[in-house]
Amino acid sequence: MPEEQMRSVPMMQSQHQTEEDNGFADPAANDMAEIAEQEAQPQPELTFDQKLDKLGYTVTRQPLDRELLYKTLVFCLEERPLNVIEQEMATYPEFASCTTNQYYLITKLVGAYGLELIEKDVDGNVVTPEQKVGLTEDEEDDLVSSFHYKTTEIGRAFVEEYSPKARLVQMLQLNPERTETYVDVLEFVHAQPRTYADIQKLLAGRPALQTVIDGHVETMQPSVFVDKLERAGALVWKEGWTLTEEGVEFLEEMKADE
């Protein structure tokens, strides 16, 4: 099945590989090397939409990081200190399967125009670039006491565009004939955490699993529904498939409109 996409951001990209003694490079190290190389070269000023596209690519390129990055943008709509952000990220269910640390993910969002880094001195005052002129590296370290982050205008636009509700609405608009089945799955996992086998039994034999590919009727696996709902931010694995807060809100709205 072709993958649905937002206006400017893909819904899913390839996963991180973990580093092993097999000759493959650490993906985080590769990303950091790529960022360093790019920063060393003169970069043309990007337009608002180009920056939004870059942020969208950064957030969605690694499925294991996707919701963590999105939720971090939401959390930082209000300015937050680094340690508070790291603590909050560690509470998200998706963090259990993340392959990198919180600071690395935060740095990615800064490099993709999603977060603004705000440096402060020991008194809580913002440290400006002008204050660093002529200082040595050690003197700069002494001047900066704490790091804070806040979602940028680009990040705010992305948060609105890529919200779970927006993703779910678009998903249902693309396949309105499957709306009832999607709602049934949402209700099913809302009652209690479910295994994939449970969902497979729920959907067994349903017409919604039938699709036409190159003129031939094919039967989709129920995992397609689980995958799309997860990528839309409605499902999360937490000792079984269950609804996210956004998934609960969306289900309640759907039921209210019936």
What are the tokens at 231? 């990528």
Q: How far apart are the first and last CA of the chain?
A: 29
Give residue-wise pLDDT tens across range 163-200: 999 999 999 999 899 999 999 999 999 999 999 999 99
CATH class of the region 173-256:
mainly alpha
Would you list the domain boundaries of the chain?
A: 27-161, 173-256
- Residue 44, pLDDT score: 77
Residue 173 makes CB contacts below 8 A (sequence gap 6+) with: none
CB 59 within 8 A of CB 162: yes
- Residue 39, pLDDT score: 56
- Residue 188, pLDDT score: 96
- Residue 209, pLDDT score: 86
Burial 191-204 (b: 16+ CB within 10 A, else e): eeebeeeebeebbe
Q: Which residues pair with 219 in a beta bridge?
A: 210
Taking the chain (258 residues) in consecutive chunks of 10 residues, what is each chunk's mean pLDDT? 41 38 48 62 84 96 94 98 98 91 97 97 94 92 95 98 94 91 95 95 89 79 93 93 94 84
Q: What are phi and psi of 20, to 5 degrees?
A: -135, 175
Q: How far is CA 142 from the centre of its chain?
A: 34
- Residue 124, pLDDT score: 93
Q: How many CB atoms lie within 10 A of CB 102?
A: 19
Q: Return d(Cα 154, Cα 95) in angstroms, integer.
A: 24
pTM comes to 0.77
